[in-house]
């Protein structure tokens, strides 16, 4: 719990203005005494109607249970400018400790009018309320909190420039999370009118990687655009809740340049980074940020669920490279034997206090045995099929001791083949993406075969 609250406190700095609604989120953390800490975070621009000092939170539960809480904002954090941006975006935090009266599914929401009139991908934003909500299963036996976002919102991005952002949702209870892009809402179950996907270059439309959570986009139009990030929470294959983050993104010309990743582990940067870390051995990852304007100061941060547990042997340090204004981040991690076969996400963010861009790293913890030794029994190991439950895409990852031709099929439970595709596996780490948007909700069987027969099978759920 203390790590959740510490994250909220670390996200903000000082200054005071008045604003219009831009985005936000609601999250809930269960406290040791059985009560729940409800957090409403709201972003506003610095032109327009001042933020109200209280927010009316609505609680809807099982069997028609309903109540409201009139919650004051935190006077220390609220009204401050969002850090790493020169102007224009304030943050307000409303915190309330609540005794939820009954177990079951609860829906917690807040709404206010109106959204920012500059938004271009809604038909009439000034007439649309901003509706934020979360769903939470209150369990009298197993404690449960919603997921929350580890990485602060991004606001500005440069025109005609490949850009990445990762909100990095994290569930403190270890439940499974599924990321998707959704539309902003104005009320329960009601989307804002006239929503359209923000415009983009043909080679990099706005997309979300359902495995890592990375959002990629090359915006080709100046302006203000709103998106909503939906995170569904599953426990033992059963849906138990969701959170969402509304974000207003502002696209502007990069008149003075922009930050970018210039080197990753002494190699050219790439969109997807997946590395193995042997247990009980030091894992070092180096990433260098540069700027197209060499006089511009740069900043770098790292976010990961690994930082949430003080027992993890993990650290991150930033230093100058000695070359111009370039800076270097060094991430160090010594995984324990108990973490073998686990995977961990790390998001690095570089900023020039105007633009930000993120880079996601996936770390797979291994036993430290050589690849050839691991594959004395099987040529292919370390299968990872994600997400599960899935939505529009499935990622299939594994390690192979040789180049192999594979065949992947998805079947329904009656054995009917619904998808069939061939894969060309290479020596080492492999990741393949399978488009699955055409599949209806239900339970499926994924099968992968090589020339000698079945090498992997797994049940998958599409909610």
Asked whether the predicted pLDDT for residue 51 surpasses 70, the reply is yes
User: How is residue 296 written in tokens?
Assistant: 């511009």
Q: What is the pLDDT of residues 60-83, one digit of tens each?
A: 999 999 999 999 998 888 888 777
Same domain, 407 and 445: yes
CATH classification of the domain holding 427 = 2.60.40.2550
Same domain, 58 and 140: yes
pLDDT of residue 48: 66
Q: What is the pLDDT of residues 437-461, one digit of tens each?
A: 888 888 888 888 887 777 787 888 8
Q: What is the pLDDT of residues 404-416, one digit of tens each?
A: 889 999 988 777 8
DSSP three-state, residue 52:
coil
Domain-located, residue 388? yes
pLDDT of residue 228: 97
pLDDT of residue 382: 76
Same domain, 10 and 138: yes
Q: What is the arrangement of strands in the sheet containing 428-435, beginning at the earlier edge strand?
A: 380-386, 393-400, 428-435
pLDDT of residue 433: 84
Asked whether the predicted pLDDT for residue 11 surpasses 70, the reply is no
Question: Residue 87 — pLDDT band, cuts 50, 70, 90?
Answer: low
Quick one: average pLDDT of 249-258?
Answer: 92
Higher pLDDT: 10 or 165? It is: 165
Bridge partner list, 200: 219
pLDDT of residue 425: 83
Q: What is the pLDDT of residues 315-338, one digit of tens each?
A: 999 999 999 999 999 999 999 999
Give the CA angle between residues 369, 309, 304 to the nearest 5°: 75
Same domain, 71 and 166: yes
Torsion of CA 260, 165, 349, 262, to 10 degrees: -20
Same domain, 118 and 191: yes
Asked whether the predicted pLDDT for residue 427 surpasses 90, the reply is no
- 314, 336, 366: which is the final residue of a domain? 366
Question: Residue 240 — pLDDT band, cuts 50, 70, 90?
Answer: very high
pLDDT of residue 305: 96
Which own/partner contact pairs does 303-310 have at CB distance under 8 Å and 24+ positions apart? Answer: 303/150, 303/151, 303/168, 303/346, 303/347, 303/349, 304/150, 304/168, 304/344, 304/345, 304/346, 304/347, 305/150, 305/168, 305/170, 305/344, 305/345, 306/333, 306/344, 306/346, 308/3, 308/150, 308/170, 308/172
| Averaged confidence pLDDT in the chain | 86
Same domain, 194 and 318: no
Cα–Cα distance for residue pair 463/444, rounded to 1 Å: 11
Element (H, E) at 373: helix 371-374
Same domain, 247 and 264: no
Task: Please report which residue ranges of 16-155 form alpha helices under DSSP H.
Answer: none
Q: Which of 266, 258, 272 is nearest to 284 (CA)?
A: 266
- 252, 283, 310: which is the final residue of a domain? 252
Give the CA angle between residues 91, 345, 162 to the nearest 5°: 70
Domain-located, residue 420? yes
Question: Residue 9 — pLDDT band, cuts 50, 70, 90?
Answer: very low
Q: Which of 137, 117, 170 is nearest to 3 (CA)?
A: 170
Asked whether the predicted pLDDT for residue 303 surpasses 60, the reply is yes
Domain-located, residue 302? yes
Cα–Cα distance for residue pair 220/158, rounded to 1 Å: 9
Compute the radius of gyration of the chain from its Cα atoms. 23
Asked whether the predicted pLDDT for residue 292 surpasses 80, the reply is yes
Same domain, 326 and 285: yes
Question: Residue 368 — pLDDT band, cuts 50, 70, 90?
Answer: low
Quick one: average pLDDT of 196-203?
Answer: 95
Query: Chain-centre distance of CA 246, in angstroms?
Result: 12
Domain hosting residue 427, numbered range: 378-462
Domain-located, residue 269? yes
DSSP three-state, residue 124:
coil
Asked whether the predicted pLDDT for residue 236 surpasses 90, the reply is no
Cα–Cα distance for residue pair 387/51, rounded to 1 Å: 38
pLDDT of residue 348: 97
Question: Residue 19 — pLDDT band, cuts 50, 70, 90?
Answer: very low
pLDDT of residue 5: 37
Same domain, 100 and 149: yes
pLDDT of residue 424: 83
Cα–Cα distance for residue pair 25/92, rounded to 1 Å: 11
Provide the number of structural domains found in the chain.
Answer: 3
pLDDT of residue 377: 41
Same domain, 66 and 204: yes
Least confident stretch, 121-135, 274-288, 385-399:
385-399
Same domain, 236 and 297: no
Contact between 259 and 300 under an 8 Å Cβ cutoff? The reply is: no
pLDDT of residue 256: 85
Domain-located, residue 116? yes
Residue the block writes with tokens 């979300």: 208
Same domain, 347 and 447: no
Higher pLDDT: 456 or 206? It is: 206
CA distances for 356 relative to 13, 89, 258, angstroms: 17, 14, 8
CATH classification of the domain holding 309 = 2.60.40.10
Domain-located, residue 248? yes
- 227, 252, 277: which is the final residue of a domain? 252
Domain-located, residue 326? yes
Domain-located, residue 372? no
């Amino acid at each position: 719990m203390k790590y959740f609250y510490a994250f909220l406190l670390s996200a903000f700095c000082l200054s005071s203005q008045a604003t219009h609604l831009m985005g936000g989120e609601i999250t809930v953390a269960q406290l040791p005494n059985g009560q729940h800490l409800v957090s409403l975070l709201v972003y506003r621009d610095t032109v327009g109607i001042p933020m109200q000092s209280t927010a009316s939170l609505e609680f809807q539960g099982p069997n028609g249970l309903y109540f409201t809480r009139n919650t004051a904002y935190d006077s220390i954090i609220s009204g401050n400018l969002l850090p790493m941006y020169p102007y224009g975006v304030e943050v307000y935090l409303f915190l309330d400790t609540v005794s939820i009266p009954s177990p079951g599914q609860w829906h917690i929401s807040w709404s206010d009018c109106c959204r920012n009139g500059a938004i271009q991908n809604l038909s009439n934003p000034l007439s649309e309320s901003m509706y934020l909500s979360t769903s939470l299963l209150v369990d009298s036996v197993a404690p449960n909190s919603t997921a929350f976002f580890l990485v602060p919102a991004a606001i500005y991005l440069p025109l005609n420039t490949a850009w990445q952002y990762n909100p990095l949702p994290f569930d403190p209870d270890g439940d499974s999370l599924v990321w998707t892009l959704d539309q902003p809402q104005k009320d329960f179950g009601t989307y804002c009118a006239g929503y359209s996907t923000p415009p983009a270059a043909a080679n990099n439309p706005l997309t979300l990687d359902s495995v890592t959570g990375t959002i990629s986009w090359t915006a080709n139009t100046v302006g203000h655009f709103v998106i909503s990030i939906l995170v569904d929470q599953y426990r033992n294959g059963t849906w138990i809740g969701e959170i969402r983050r509304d974000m207003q993104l502002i696209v502007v010309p990069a008149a003075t340049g922009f930050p970018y990743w210039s080197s990753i582990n002494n190699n050219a940067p790439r969109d997807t980074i997946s590395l193995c870390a042997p247990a009980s051995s030091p894992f070092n990852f180096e990433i260098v940020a540069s700027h197209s304007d060499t006089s511009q100061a740069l900043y770098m941060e790292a976010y990961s669920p690994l930082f949430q547990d003080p027992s993890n042997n993990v650290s991150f340090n930033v230093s100058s490279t000695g070359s111009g204004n370039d800076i270097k981040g060094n991430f160090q991690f010594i995984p324990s034997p108990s973490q073998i076969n686990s995977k961990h996400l790390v998001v690095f963010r570089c900023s020039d206090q105007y633009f930000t861009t993120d880079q996601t790293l996936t770390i797979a913890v291994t036993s430290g045995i050589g690849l050839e030794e691991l594959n004395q029994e099987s040529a292919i190991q370390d299968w990872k099929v994600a997400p599960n439950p899935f939505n529009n895409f499935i990622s299939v990852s594994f390690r192979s001791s040789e180049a192999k031709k594979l065949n992947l099929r998805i079947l329904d439970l009656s054995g009917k083949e619904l998808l069939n595709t061939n894969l060309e596996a290479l020596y080492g780490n492999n990741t393949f993406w399978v488009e699955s948007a055409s599949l209806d909700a239900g339970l499926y069987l994924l099968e992968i075969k090589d020339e000698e027969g079945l090498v992997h099978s797994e049940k998958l759920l599409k909610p």
